Structure formats: structure tokens, C-alpha cells
Amino acid sequence: MEYPRLETLRRVRRMVVKLGSSVLSGSKPRLDFSMLRRLSGDVAALKTQQRQVILVSSGAILAGREQLALGIRPMTTQLKQAAAAVGQSRLMRAWDEAFAREKITAAQVLLTREDLRQRRRYLNARNTLFTLLRLGVVPVINENDTVSTDEIKFGDNDMLSALVAGLCDADLLVLLTDRDGLYSADPRDNPGARLIARVSEGEALVLRGRPGPAGSGGMASKFKAAQLAAGTGISTVIANGFNEGILQRVLAGEEVGTLFIARASPLDKRRQWLAFAAHPRGQIHVDEGAREALAGKSKSLLPSGIKSVSKSFEAGDVVSLVSGGVEFARGLANYSSKELDKIKGLKTSQIEAALGYKPADEVVHRDNMAVLTR
């Protein structure tokens, strides 16, 4: 069936637009104010069409590097964090000024992964974003680089933007970059590389297995982000931020960039949190039969399908469910790793004899499980 691109895009009411440093810097390694003004104009035009826009803007480190006259030398993590602290206020001032020309108020929102992992903070962030949107404000989100360590980092703003899209129930995620979209091969050394206009759920799995399209020139993280968004029911467009009026063209349904089509049966909010925001404490390795029952037939995990557990976790922790070395689902464990060591491989009727008690038949209940790949 032909995908109704125009219809889907015309219906977009709320969108997250991610701007990478490459788009905000133009040809020189510093913030390009004219680009920020142009993008603010585009956002203003979208707002007149009653569309709500949330920006995820990189550029803090870029702006800090310029202010501190650090040149283009490689930076340690600490120097990057310091540069981000200097640059974030400059970045925000630039956005404030650019939006003021359009009579739009902008708001700074800085997040770490930890903020989305903890359910209470996740809900708080969500409520604040909704309030800002109700007030007609454009939230400008960035990672809180100053406090981000590897443990709590999003990795990059592509992932952050996909999580934010899920967080605020966006209808569309747009990743603006310095490329026209996803290519069948790296266009820099393959003259025959062609732009992929559309990627459906099935096609994404095939493409992910190939090194070319998903693994070159910063596209790997965009691909991952688009897949994450698709899992939460949100379509993604990867497009070239240097093209004039690109956001309007995307929303007018023009065949620009690469459109990743959202999963037809997306995960619900709770499962989205489990799948993408929560932090698994350990792994439960299951046999192929259990994987099929869980992923294919939406069954709960019982002790009989468990081969082994790794890392230590408590009942109530989020765990990864792994088969053949591949994580295919996440869920809330009803048993600790210690208990599972004693009951793995057993029938549910044998749990009580082995432990002396039985909190539940299921090790992970289907209601507390998010399947990542079928």
C-alpha cells in the first residue's frame, strides 16, 4: 500500500526539530546567527499553521569553544563540559534574540538521561513542556552537558531528540543535518549512492544489518534515533537544514529527505519508558522457545525458559531479556537475580519448594514488558 505521506505530514500538530552543530555552524566552527534567524522564521511560519514546535539544539560546546578561543584542537570531556557551560548561555541568548524578531518567547530546558529514567522526573519534564507549549513558548532543549557523565549521557542529541519526541507525544521528529538524508551507501566515495526516500519498519531491520547506509557520516545515531521514534509511534524525517524552507517543505509532504515510517502498533507510554528511558540493572538470558513466546505471542516470562542471569538486581528492577546474545525486550523483574539463580529452568509449581515462598508465577509479567525486536 502506498504510504500516505502528505496526509500524515499535514496532520502533524506537534513536532520536535533537532538541529545539529553542523547546521548551526554553517561553514565555520562558530554559531551562525543568520542560520538561527532563518530557523526561527521557519518555526514562526509553522506556528501560524497551529503547529507546536520543540527544538533540540546543539551548539553549546561550539559556542563555548569560540568564546574561550579554543580553536579546533581536540578537547577532553572536562574541557567540553566547561565549554558547554560557557556556550549554553550564549547559545540561548542567540535563540532568544532570533525568536524575539518573530515575537516568540523561547525557553531553555536542559536534561540528562537520569531525568528521563526516573519516572517522577520524566513526568515533571513532560508537564513542564506541555505548560510551555500551552503558553505559546518554544522550548529549546539541550543535554545538560556540565553534569553529564558517561553513565547519564544520552550519547548525543539525536537520541535526546527521539526521547523528547516520545516524552511530549510529538507527531513528528525532524533531524536537520548537513546531508540530504539517508543514502544507500556513503555518497562521498560512492557516486552511485542514492537517497532513500522512505524507510518502513521492515526495511529498517534490513538496512540496520548493512554497514553502508546506517553506519556512515554520523548517520548511525540518526538511524538509531529514527528507529526509537518509530517504536514510539512517531515518524521521523532526516533532511538537510541548509535547504531554504526545509521544514515547510517537509510538512507540505514534498519528497525531501528520508522519511522513517512509525511502527503501526507503537508501545504505550509505560512500555516506552521501559524500553528507552529506564536503565536495565542486569540481564536474564532465555532460550529460543521463551523468546518466541515473549516476542511473538506476548506471553509472560516463566522460570522454565531462563538459562542464566547476569549482574545482580533486585525484584522491581528493570532488566534486559536476552536471547542468543541479543537484547530483545526489557521488563520489570518480580524476582531478584539471587532468587532467579535458584529457580531458573524450574516449572512454576516448583518455585515455592525451591525458595520457600512464591511472590508470582511470572518472572516478568507481560504487562511490565516492552518487546524491542520481534
Q: Which residues bind ligand GLU (CB under 6 A)?
A: 20-21, 58-62, 84, 142-143, 145, 156-157
Nine cell digits for residue 221: 545515531
Residue 169 beta carbon to ligand GLU: minimum distance, rounded to whole angstroms: 23
Residue 59 beta carbon to ligand GLU: minimum distance, rounded to whole angstroms: 5
Q: 79 or 360: whose CB is closer to ligand GLU?
A: 79
Beta strands per DSSP E along 168-224 = 172-177, 198-199
Q: E strand or H helix at 207, and its extent? A: helix 201-208
Residue 18 beta carbon to ligand GLU: minimum distance, rounded to whole angstroms: 8
The amino acid at residue 319 is V
Residue 146 beta carbon to ligand GLU: minimum distance, rounded to whole angstroms: 10
Q: Which residues pair with 326 in a beta bridge?
A: 323
For the chain, how many residues are written? 374
Q: 21 or 320: whose CB is closer to ligand GLU?
A: 21
The amino acid at residue 166 is G
Q: 68 or 315: whose CB is closer to ligand GLU?
A: 68
> How many angstroms separate the CA atoms of 227 and 275, rounded?
12
Q: What is the 3-state secondary structure (H, E, C) of 257-291?
A: CEEECCCCCCCCHHHHHHHHHCCCCEEEEECHHHH
- Cα torsion angle, 109, 10, 273, 22, sign: negative
Q: Is 157 in contact with 18 (CB distance < 8 Å)? A: yes
> How many angstroms separate the CA atoms of 217 and 219, rounded?
5
Q: 60 or 107: whose CB is closer to ligand GLU?
A: 60
> How many angstroms separate the CA atoms of 245 and 188, rounded?
25
Q: 35 or 302: whose CB is closer to ligand GLU?
A: 35
Q: 142 or 334: whose CB is closer to ligand GLU?
A: 142
Q: 64 or 305: whose CB is closer to ligand GLU?
A: 64
Q: 84 or 333: whose CB is closer to ligand GLU?
A: 84
Q: Is 287 in contact with 323 (CB distance < 8 Å)? A: yes
Q: Which residues pair with 141 in a beta bridge?
A: 56, 109
Residues 6+ apart with CB under 8 A from 306: 284, 285, 286, 287, 290, 340, 343, 344, 345, 363
Residue 157 beta carbon to ligand GLU: minimum distance, rounded to whole angstroms: 4
Residue 94 beta carbon to ligand GLU: minimum distance, rounded to whole angstroms: 12
> How many angstroms separate the CA atoms of 161 and 154, rounded?
10
Residue 294 beta carbon to ligand GLU: minimum distance, rounded to whole angstroms: 33
